[in-house]
Amino acid sequence: MTWIFSEVALLPDGWAKNVRLSIDTQGRIDSLDMDAEPGPRDLVLKDRILLPAPANLHSHGFQRALAGLTETRGGTGQDSFWTWRRLMYAFLEHLTPDHTQAINAFAQMEMLEAGYASVAEFHYVHHQGGGIPYDDPAENSLRVVAAASDTGIGLTLLPVYYAQGGVDGRALEGGQLRFKCGLDQYAEIWGNAQKGLRALPGDCFIGIAPHSLRAVSKADLEKLTRTHGSGPIHIHIAEQLAEIEEIEQAHGQRPVDWLLNNFSIDGNWCLVHATHLSESEKERLARSGAVTGLCPVTEANLGDGIFDAAGFMARSGRMGIGTDSNVAISLVHELRTLEYSQRLHHKKRAVLCAPDASTGRTLFDAACAGGAQANGRDSGALKVGLYADMMSLDAGSLDLTDLSGDTALDSWIFSSRDRLIADVWAAGRHLVKEGRHIRRERIARDYRQAITYLRKLL
């Protein structure tokens, strides 16, 4: 049993003083008392604010190594998501399992340092170039698992099912062959990955990720959800206007409408990048109980468009935050980008602010609840029985001096330079201390080696 004492903490009912909690051997909060005294063996957090640490609900870990390399215009003068994707495929040509592991470990370490306790890894690079399977077809999935064993992050592994090049069923080609699976091969990858996950702590497990309505047929989606759909189900849904047109032309319905009309969508589902929704899709999606996975920094980087978060929250829709392309791994950057996108659109301030909380608090609470649900993780709050996914902020920093409650949270999210996170625990594993991951040096060294090799080839 581990005991932690903090002078200030954010609990489900609000801010509390002198909080003492214990964590059991499974990493769950076993007891929690307010107005307590520290015990003799407690880890006493001095000048710290204790918060729940949210889940990162969407990541493609390997793309971290591409960050900053795709900020020029394509030959057409019209750079877009699709030119970015071509560069991403070129990069993939050279990626080995060792690289996959080193890059994922580095990205996971940065996530922990940014305040995320867990990640849902939407993992789609299964094969060697040309689509040749590795000896173990789950090789690359197991490298993501190995990275999580190294970093200690709470992993929800989502092996991606990607079978076709478009909604018309056209074949995959070129770089996409590294993603391609039939249902039988997918079952093998999924099964081997599930076995591999047994080496990790009990808060790490597996779900599924049918890639998108472009890449998966209706028949396959039905089979997949029937055979492997008891855990989290994540899907890319409505990120690009071209993708929405493609679905509309094929099915006569917009993607979210089509999904809701053909599948029973519930709280197990996470619809990633539900960026472009009609009014009725917003209403129906909010009512379904599914989480909308927003990745505001990547969506801005790729020029996807603006999600109507204000309209979705007004309908009590659930949403959480993902780092997606990992172009800049920063929780506060995601939260403030989400709010600023609404301000720029509506020409107003404090758009996502609930009546009884500040803007930062509203965003943070939504990210904690939505992320935990999407990752299928018993967490998202400091509460007995939940995993001890927690972080502490440095209350002695200049940004937070003499501030408390929601104002301190707002200052961290809107005005800090990201470096206020002192500690992070994932299911009770104390992985970040004084702002640094406990294995930072070696993980960074492995990552440097991988990118030094890859950047020479690009």
What are the residue numbers of the active site?
273, 324
Of residues 165 and 435, the one with the C-beta less far from Zn ion = 165
> How near is the Cβ of 70 to Zn ion at its closest, in Å?
15
The stretches of 181-325 forming alpha helices (DSSP H) are: 183-197, 218-228, 241-251, 255-262, 279-288, 296-301, 309-314
The answer to whether the beta carbons of residues 159 and 126 sit under 8 Å apart is yes
Q: Which is nearer to Zn ion, 141 or 149 (CB)?
A: 141
Q: Which is nearer to Zn ion, 308 or 324 (CB)?
A: 324
Sign (positive or negative) of CA dihedral 329, 332, 335, 339: negative
DSSP class of residue 137 equals T
Q: What is the DSSP letter of 276?
A: S
Helix (H, G, I), strand (E, B) or coil at 381: coil
Identify the helix (H) or strand (E) that includes residue 108: helix 97-113
- DSSP label of 324: B
User: What single string gives the DSSP state of each residue in 141-186?
Assistant: HHHHHHHHHHH--EEEEEEEEB--SSTT-PPP-GGGGGTB--HHHH
Say which residues have a Cβ less than 8 Å from residue 290's Cβ, sequence separation at least 6: 265, 266, 267, 268, 269, 270, 271, 318
CA distances from 451 to 114, 230, 373 (A): 21, 37, 34
Minimum distance, C-beta of residue 324 to Zn ion, in the bound complex (Å) = 5
Burial degree of 173 (CB within 10 A; 0-12, 13-18, 19+)? exposed
Structure tokens at 351: 């758009």
In whole angstroms, the minimum distance from the beta carbon of 334 to Zn ion comes to: 14
What is the nearest approach in angstroms of Zn ion to the Cβ of residue 330?
17
Structure tokens at 2: 């581990």
**Residue nearer to Zn ion on the CB measure, 139 or 324:** 324
Least separation, in Å, of the C-beta of 256 and Zn ion?
A: 16
Closest CA to 272 of 56, 111, 105: 56
Q: How near is the Cβ of 358 to Zn ion at its closest, in Å?
A: 30
Minimum Å gap between C-beta 432 and Zn ion is: 25
Nearer to Zn ion, 247 or 386 (CB): 247
Binding-site ranges for Zn ion (CB under 5 A): 324
Kindly state the helix (H) or strand (E) to which residue 105 belongs, with its residue range: helix 97-113
Q: Which helix (H) or strand (E) holds 81?
A: helix 81-92
CB 21 within 8 Å of CB 2: no
Cβ partners under 8 Å of residue 441, min gap 6: none
CA–CA distance, 154 with 389 (Å, rounded to integer) = 9
Minimum Å gap between C-beta 19 and Zn ion is 36
Provide, for the chain, the percentages of residues in helix, strand and coil under a 3-state DSSP scheme, each rounded to the nearest 5: 40, 20, 40
